[in-house]
Structure 1
Amino acid sequence: MSGLILRLAAPLQSWGEHSTFGERDTQPYPTRSGILGLLAAAQGRPRTTGLADFFHLRLTVRVDRPGVLLTDFHTVGGGLPRDQTVPTARGDRREEGKGTVVSHRHYLADAAFTVAVEGPDELIHELSAALRHPTWAPYLGRRSCPPAEPILLASGLTDPVRALKRQVPLSRERPHTGDTVAVDFIYETDIRDPHARAHLMDVPVSFDPLRRAYRPRAIKVRTEHLPADLCGGHGVDQLAALAEYAGSARQGG
């Protein structure tokens, strides 16, 4: 077993778990389906390809910056003649003057997450290569949310979760007092765990558009105190800290 370190940061990201029709939600942290979809896209997997090998991957998310919830009031198809309005479920067109489709789309603005991905050595090696040279452009939950920086920070780590807690720079300012900083971690746990904080329907069984299916997953959110020295600040300072870590991780690998 080995692992990767992924950095998910962008002006906007959105991790829907139960989006339907006009209400497109986002979870406050990346979902398993969103992360695995990103990895599958990097590999160039067709949506009809099986996902059985991904079941062996284990994800741990560190919340560097939770971001701010943003809601976009979105309209499509307004003011168009009937033959150009949005198709209905029956396959016909909406009446002229009633063709506007309204939706509320939720995003996380200025959020940053660092993710440890653990799995079998061969699969981790394949994913690392795919992320360095992705077949399809990666995005953070939706195609309108491209990453601000390269996603892969480190690969081939024997204990990526420990790296999250002791080595990978945090995207936040160092506190004025104290030697530690409180950081939330999202851990996967057994669906029967009585201490699970949430149960999400976000384990993809199939991405096939005609047979899309998901299974439930349980998570625990735990606040841990990390060394304040991990704080890399913002802007240029943050990028420099991340680049230094990525360089050292490559040399160590």
Structure 2
Amino acid sequence: MPGILMHLSGPLQSFGEHSHFTDRDTHTRPTRSALIGILAAAQGLRREADLSDLRTLRFTIRTDRSGVRMVDFHTVGGGLPRDRSVPSANGDRKDEGKATVVTERHYLADAAFTVAVDGDPTLINSVTTALRTPRWPPYLGRRACPPAGPVLVATGLDDAAAALTSFPLHRRRPAGASTVTVDVAHDQPPTSGHPARHRLRDDPTSFDDYHRSWNVRTEYVTTLTLPADLCAGLGTDWINALAAAQALETTA
């Protein structure tokens, strides 16, 4: 199945799966909702747009770096006049001086993921073009979390999921190690291994502001052992390795 590779890395990422207003969680890796949202934004789709074609795509996520979980302290609604303060459950407004809502927002700091996107060739060509010249810029779960580098890192692949076994890893090589292990999350049952299974409510059927909805699906997670030579490092080492990989793709 033809496909592409996307790479998501940055100082902060956040991929909520069951958030409430005052407690905004993050999953340990990008959700289907976040990935479809990135592609929809790149294509310039409005929130009320039909997602049926994007929902046919298959995503396979390799965790290059799991990052560090952190919680940020936020307040919402403070200092506003009463008619603009946070609404209460009964539809009224809170009094001035009592309108500030404290929230906790969860993030993954310094994480990196390489995502294989496989699907219909016509659709893959469409999202490839969109990622090269996005209508709206991509972000890593929240608008305040921009990617640290290019999102589209490999194109024209016969099997994008299989390419995850040879594409450079965005991490330092452990001293003295000949192999490294990585987690790989699948949205379809893998053909080998004994995956851990998680039930997630992250398969979007609508991004409409007033009718957002998601289906529950199963995430399958396996562990993959790769040569330590694939560890490309960070900073300029990673940039050079990425450029070399893209040069090989161009000449192939």
> TM-score band (shorter)?
over 0.9
In the alignment, structure 1 residue 200 sits paired with structure 2 residue 200? yes
Between the aligned partners of 2:32 and 2:114, the Cα distance in structure 1 is: 13
CA contact (8 A) 1:42 1:136 kept: yes
1:175 aligns with 2:162: no
SS at match of 1:189: coil
Structure 2 unaligned spans of 5+: none
Residue 123 of structure 1 is matched in structure 2 by 123
1:86 is matched with which residue?
86
Rounded Cα–Cα distance in structure 2 between residues aligned with 1:195 and 1:179: 24
Using the TM superposition, give the Cα deviation of residue 228 of structure 1 relative to its aligned residue in structure 2, in angstroms.
1.1
Once the 2 structures are TM-superposed, how far is the Cα of residue 180 of structure 1 from its aligned partner?
A: 1.2
Q: Distance in 2 between matches of 1:71 and 1:196?
A: 26
**Does the 8 Å contact 1:169/1:232 carry over to 2?**
yes
Task: Show the counterpart of 1:66.
Answer: 66
Contact 2:203/2:215 (8 A) holds in 1: yes
| Identical positions, percent | 54
Deviations 1:182-219 (CA, angstroms, capped at 9, x unpaired): 111111235xxx95520100000111111111111111
**Alignment map for 1:1-253 (pairs within 5 Å):** 1-88=1-88, 91-166=91-166, 168-189=167-188, 196-252=196-252
Distance 1:176 1:26 in 2: 31
Query: Aligned equivalents of 1:163 and 1:189: distance in 2?
Result: 17
TM-score calculated relative to the size of structure 2: 0.93
Contact kept, 8 Å, 1:112 with 1:171, in 2: the verdict is yes
Task: Assess if the C-alpha contact under 8 Å between 1:189 and 1:196 holds in 2.
Answer: no
What letter is aligned with 2:82? R
Amino acid paired to 2:213 = A
- Cα distance in structure 2, aligned partners of 1:20 and 1:240: 41
Query: CA separation in 2, counterparts of 1:115 and 1:109?
Result: 18
Q: Counterpart of 1:232 in 2: which secondary structure? A: coil
Partners of 2:117 and 2:160 within 8 A in 1: yes
- Give the Cα–Cα distance (whole angstroms) in 2 for the partners of residues 81 and 175 of structure 1: 55
Q: CA deviation at 1:171?
A: 1.0
Contact 1:154 1:250 in 2 (8 A): no
Does the 8 A contact of 2:195 with 2:222 survive in 1? Answer: no
Equivalenced residue count is 248
Amino acid aligned to 1:7: H
Q: Secondary structure at the match of 1:247?
A: helix
Letter in 2 for 1:19: S
The AA in structure 2 aligned to 1:173 is R
Structure 1: gaps of 5 or more residues: none
Give the Cα separation in 1 of the matches to 2:91 and 2:135: 33
Equivalents in 1 of 2:186, 2:84: separation in Å? 47
